[in-house]
Structures are given as structure tokens and as C-alpha cells.
Amino acid sequence: MMDFLPMLGLGLLFGLRHAIDADHIAAVSTIVTQTGSVKKSSLAGIFWGLGHAGALLLAGIPLLLFRTAIPAGLAVFFELMVGILLIALGADVLYRLRSEKIHFHQHMHNGSGHWHFHSHSRTASHSHAHRSFFVGTFHGLAGSAGLALVTLAAFSSFFQGILYIAVFGLGSILGMLAVSTIIALPLGLFPGFIRLARILRFSAGAFSMAFGAFIVAEFFSQARL
């Protein structure tokens, strides 16, 4: 048991590291930059981590029970779906960004007037949570093949394998909580800077589409070999 405890520590660290993979950051940034607050962004990161950890556990249970691995073809298919998902998320951000309207208003305070501007974008925290959970689940399915292989090779006990996957999932939750909070900090510190928000959202959408296209292109290039 004492030898197993360091493995759990490594699992937590690997989960933290796993959360900052480029495809994960690309997907979550498209959601976080639309929430409008650090708190909602942090919740989006937590929900991504919950979906990710849940998918890993659901996939890991039968694999560990039957001591088998996800077929290579299915694992590659999940990776392709992640690429398509990234393209769709990025395109959605850019479409919403283009359709939003920024309005200027004048208000009177103590006899003097001033102008301010804001965007009439429509966002809902529950929709961000649902989307984050769905995206995290998809990423968890895509990453379950590699994690299951490591777990099968390292642990002969079903209990130890499941516990390792759970700790790995906890690490991914904490890691994505940190990532989503950091991404949202500029928006939280400068809530009135609509131009900054639009730049960040455009960057998130463009990066997500570009990285998704890279994954899809890599899939088809390998398929031709």
C-alpha cells in the first residue's frame, strides 16, 4: 500500500498537467471568454473537469474489469471528433461575436452626463455549465484509451486502478479550474473594456478552429499512410 500512495500522487500531478493540454485550453477558452465573470468562468472549468473525470471513470470501469483496452480505431475516432468539436466551438464564438451589437448610452449623474458602451450579448451561466460538462465528457472519452492502457499496465488490482483514475480526474478538475480562472482574469479585472473582451473572444475562437483543423488534418494524413 505504501508503494501505491506515491502512484496516487503522480496521478494527481498527471491530471493537473493533463488539464493544460492545448486542445483542452482551446475548448474551454471558447466558453470562458463568453461568461463575463471570473466566478462563472471558474464554474465552467469545474464542470469541464467533472465531465472529463466522469467519462474517464465510466470508460475505465469495464476496461479494468475485463482487462482490455479501447480499440485503436475507436480511440482515433474520438480524437477526430474532438477536432471537429473544436472547430464547431470556435466557429460558434466567431459567429456570436459578429452578430453582437455594441451600443452607446448617455446617463445623467448629479446634473452631468457621461457616455458608456456595452454589448447586448445574451449569455446564460447554466448553458455555459452544460456546454463545459459536455465538452469535458468528450475530452474524457478521447483520453480514456491512453489512461486505461497506463492503468492496466501499472495496476493488477481493480480497486487501485479505479482509485488512480479518480485521483487523475481530480487533478484534471483542479487544473482546469486554475486554467479557466486565469483565462478569465483580464475580463474580471477590466469588466468595462468591451474591446478587450472581443479581442480575447476572437483569439479563443480562432485558436480553437485552427487547432481543431490541425487535429482533423492530422487524422486524414495518417489515414492515407
* Four-CA torsion 67, 83, 170, 69, nearest 10 degrees: 0
Radius of gyration of the chain (CA): 20
In sequence order, what are the residues at sequence separation of 6 or more whose Cβ sits closer than 8 angstroms to the Cβ of residue 173?
Answer: 15, 19, 46, 49, 50, 52, 53
- In the chain, what is the straight-line distance between the N-terminal and C-terminal CA atoms, in Å? 45
- pLDDT in the model for residue 104: 44
> Nearest CA to 91 among 219, 173, 211, 10?
211
Q: Where do the domains of the chain lie?
A: 4-98+123-223
Residue with cell 462563472: 40
115/209: higher pLDDT: 209
Average pLDDT over residues 99-110: 56
For 23-78, how does the pLDDT look when each residue is reduced to its tens digit (9 = 90+)? 999 999 999 998 878 889 999 999 999 999 999 999 999 999 998 988 888 999 99
Strand ranges (DSSP E) for the chain? Answer: 102-109, 112-119
Determine contact, residues 20/29, Cβ cutoff 8 Å.
no
Residue with cell 464554474: 43
- pLDDT in the model for residue 114: 46
Is residue 122 scored above 90 in pLDDT? no
> Crossing angle, helix 158-189 and helix 38-65, to 10 degrees?
160
